[in-house]
Amino acid sequence: MWLGDRIYFTSDRTGTLELFRYQLSDKTTTQVTRFGGFDVLFPSRGRGGVIFECGGALHVMDEGTEQLRQLDITLADDRPWLRPTWHDGSKAFGSFAPSPSGKRVLVEFRGDVFSVPEQHGQAQHLTRTPKRRERQPEWSPDGTHQSYLAEVGDDYELILRDPASGAERQLTRGTGAWILGYAWSPDSRRIVFTDKGNRLQVVDVASGTTTHLDSGSEAVPTSVEWSADSQWLSYVKLGRNGFHSVWLCEATERPAPLQVTSDEFDDASPTFDPDGRYLYFTSARSYRHDGFRFERQLFALLMRRDVANPLAPRDDTEPGPGASKPEKPSKKEKEPSKDAKPARWRIDREGLAERLVRLPGAAGDYGALSGVADGLLFAKGGGLHRYDVKKRKTESVLPGVTRYRLAHDRKQLLYRHGGALCRAKVAPGQKAGAEKIPTDGVRVRVVPQEEWAQMYADAWRIMRDWFYDPRMHAVDWPAMRAKYAPLLQHASHRSDLDFLLGELIGELNCGHTYVSPGESPRVPRVPVGLLGCEFAQAGKHYRIASIFAGENWDERTRSPLTEPGVDVREGDFVLAIDGRDLSAPQSPYALLENTVGRQVELLVNARPERTGARRVVVRPIASESGLRYLAWVARNRALVDKLSGGRIGYVHVPNTAIDGHRELFRGFRPLARVKQALIIDDRYNGGGWIPDRMAMALGQPVLNYWARRGSELGTTPGFAFEGPRAMLINGYSSSGGDAFPFYFRKLGLGKLIGKRTWG
């Protein structure tokens, strides 16, 4: 900000953003403010000085004396966005869990727990704790407890609730890390849980004693499941080689955990056969050369030596003369007693990894495995399927569904469909959405500032447990929570909360730590149709100064005025739009409101008069950003071509996601064999994925040449380039746009030209 012979600016050279002055006469720099705690933000010059925000207050610096004055502002405001509101959770609920009988379902919505009926009855609001968040509700298999994770101090702890009285009991204490997931043992005596400390632990429901079972060296154990006899746990651990393996451990006697699959393959989703015969899982062992990847298949480990191979050759034989038919079990024998406990399983550890069977079925995207009676439920190809062990065949259960919760009896499942909570049988031929569970009674009263305080605590807690550096970049993280917490009372809008969260997280001075905006009032917008051109006013008329070329074979870069059959040229006057005369000072865009994608008639002429005018029909587009981008790239390419005499090629890479990969390889391949040098433009690269393949493609050398009569020499790889390369960068090259030039330089591909990138 330029005031007289001084330039004022903010700088964080002292640790926080402060206001500084640069004196033009003697070229000296002086620090003006010394707040030391909060940043000086949003400075703006005005009459007599500079105004800025710091610590939630407005301050004015006097231009003459540089004295600071805090403004005392009182606004008569009802603060309407702080009024309590009711929110419908019928389609916005979080996690859900069935009761043992299947008659009720626990659902989570905005940090509260509800119980909804399977079919008949009312929704029950179980926890009314606006200042405390509950998540991941579950029901114990015996129905005596409901459970959920709830805030206790700085952590989430496991809470048990009596369904009859509503009384709560804290089960875990001092976990010190975010609990990721938990599961009840089938006998309801223990709960296994994992946390951000990469620990696998089990807690005794009666005593509250927590026992450590295992830990992951690279990541938290996942896909944890109990055996039906409540004695064993299966789970997945990530190894140092980047592959996952399946593990078993006993939850009581605590011998050393047992790795049951090889480090050679990537395995996932283990699940027990309810009868203790098999341990199912998926393994990526089928190689696909077209994608240089391995696809998954279904496997089963035989838990005991005496378990028969489920795919052993079958041989139908005729019973001999006089052979008696086997007696059929009575109905009572078929149906086990409700009080009967599963027999304790035996797992023969020796030779377990070798007792492996691959189940029938083509390789693919298998996942979400669950062992069910005489079979295996799994997701593949966008739907649920069941493999029948006896029939040795797979049948479709529920098309269009891949995520579900299995009921306690493993005969039914719950799932989402179109926002609704639904149920289905674990049987072939189910139809998605056929049986809906009524959730219309899930409603909660929200007091914004109470909810925002909880969200603030969660944001602080999430960064504490998820931030990559446990030392938090040497920042006193509890002190940061205390620093910004007093400002919560001044937040009047969700955007205020988002700003505070951004300031809190910003104290870590780390990229890719974002705040996603939540519920905020949205101003309804009327879409304005665009023609892919620049207008220029000529007296009272508008003429088309330029038309963007576009690429009409792609709807995203369609240029309406260049489509076949549209007779409009640069320099033409637009006299009317859809029968309405167009003349200044009215904007042409006013006549293009709400016309995106529909047919619009233009009256155009080479002269600003109706005589000889042409009527053309066009389809306006919603955005010209793609067209303007293509025009900018074309100008850059033409400039490079002109200045180099056609010897240097130019490619711009807009990001490192799909569009960036497409533009890089689309531009690079036609140039690789015909240009002597290449300029790769990384400026304004918005990032996306890690661009290792992009950098490697630019740097791959020619391995050999192929000669064929009547044609130029061919190469392997087919589009390798070994001439000089350079990459342009600027301060708007971000994320993957940072990594791309870093890799470019690390591979020694050429010089980086420009300013330091974003990160």
Among candidate residues 676, 704, 691, 682, the one with its CA nearest the CA of residue 633: 682
Q: What is the number of domains present in the chain?
A: 4
- b/e per residue 470-482 (b: at least 16 CB within 10 A): eebeebebeebbe
618 plus 636 within the same structural domain: no
Last residue of a domain, one of 564, 594, 623: 623
Range of the domain at 498: 458-506
Give the pLDDT of residue 587.
Answer: 96
647 plus 737 within the same structural domain: yes
Q: Which amino acid is at 127?
A: T
Beta bridge partners of 249: 233
542 plus 612 within the same structural domain: yes
Give the pLDDT of residue 293.
Answer: 81
* Beta strand pairing call for 751-754 and 725-729: parallel
Is 413 part of any domain? no
Largest CA distance in the chain: 119
Tokens of 20: 């500084």
| Cα separation, 283 vs 285, whole angstroms | 6
422, containing H or E segment: strand 420-425
- In the three-class reduction of DSSP (H, G, I as helix; E, B as strand; rest coil), residue 464 is classed as helix
709 plus 642 within the same structural domain: yes
Question: Does residue 137 contact residue 183 with C-beta atoms inside 8 Å?
Answer: no
Is 19 part of any domain? yes
| Cα separation, 471 vs 491, whole angstroms | 30
Tokens of 630: 């293509």
DSSP E strand boundaries for 196-345:
199-204, 210-215, 222-226, 232-238, 244-250, 258-259, 266-272, 278-288, 293-302
619 plus 691 within the same structural domain: no
726 φ, ψ to 5°? -145, 155
Provide block-wise average pLDDT over 10 residues at a time, the chain (759 residues).
95 95 96 95 94 96 95 89 94 95 96 95 94 96 97 96 96 93 97 96 96 94 96 96 95 85 95 96 88 88 94 80 61 56 83 94 95 96 96 96 95 95 96 95 95 96 96 97 96 94 95 88 89 96 96 94 96 97 96 96 96 96 96 97 98 97 94 95 96 94 92 88 96 96 97 94
Is 424 part of any domain? no
Is 656 part of any domain? yes
Q: Phi-psi region for residue 253, left (φ > 0), alpha (ψ -120 to 50) or beta?
A: alpha
* Distinct helix (H) and strand (E) counts, the chain: 8, 50
Question: Does residue 356 contact residue 262 with C-beta atoms inside 8 Å?
Answer: no
Give the chain's length: 759
Residue 218 has a CB neighbour count (10 Å cut-off) of: 12
Residue 120 has a CB neighbour count (10 Å cut-off) of: 7
Q: Which residues contact 101 (CB under 8 A, 6 or more apart)?
A: 143
558 plus 462 within the same structural domain: no
Give the pLDDT of residue 167.
Answer: 97
Q: Which residues contact 122 (CB under 8 A, 6 or more apart)?
A: 441
- In the three-class reduction of DSSP (H, G, I as helix; E, B as strand; rest coil), residue 186 is classed as coil
Task: Identify the residue whose tokens are 């904007």.
Answer: 587
CATH of the domain at 612: 2.30.42.10
The separation between CA 76 and the C-alpha centre of its own chain, rounded to angstroms, equals 41
632 plus 750 within the same structural domain: yes
563 plus 669 within the same structural domain: no
453, containing H or E segment: helix 448-466
Beta bridge partners of 284: 266, 296
Beta bridge partners of 706: 714
| Cα separation, 663 vs 670, whole angstroms | 12
Q: Specify burial of residue 390 (Cβ count, 10 A radius: 0-12, 13-18, 19+).
A: exposed
Give the pLDDT of residue 337.
Answer: 57
Sheet of 383-388: strand order equals 367-372, 375-380, 383-388, 393-399
| Cα separation, 633 vs 702, whole angstroms | 28
Tokens of 500: 């505070």
Give the pLDDT of residue 469.
Answer: 96
Give the pLDDT of residue 296.
Answer: 95
750 plus 652 within the same structural domain: yes
- Interior CA angle at 603 toward 600 and 608, to 5°? 150
Question: Does residue 434 contact residue 420 with C-beta atoms inside 8 Å?
Answer: no
Last residue of a domain, one of 583, 606, 623: 623
Last residue of a domain, one of 575, 596, 623: 623
Q: Which amino acid is at 183?
A: A
Beta bridge partners of 536: 543
| Cα separation, 22 vs 20, whole angstroms | 7
- b/e per residue 640-655 (b: at least 16 CB within 10 A): beeeeeeebbbbbbbb
Is 661 part of any domain? yes
SS in 3 state form for 272-297?
A: ECCCCCEEEEEEEEEEECCCCEEEEE
Give the pLDDT of residue 55.
Answer: 93
Is 308 part of any domain? no
683 plus 722 within the same structural domain: yes
Is 316 part of any domain? no
592 plus 661 within the same structural domain: no
506, containing H or E segment: helix 494-506
Is 146 part of any domain? no
Q: Where are the alpha helices (DSSP H) in 599-735?
A: 625-644, 658-671, 692-699
Give the pLDDT of residue 524.
Answer: 87
CATH of the domain at 713: 3.90.226.10
Give the pLDDT of residue 759.
Answer: 80
Which string of DSSP letters, residue by residue, matches 74-98? Answer: ------GGGS-EEEE-TTT---EEE
633 plus 731 within the same structural domain: yes
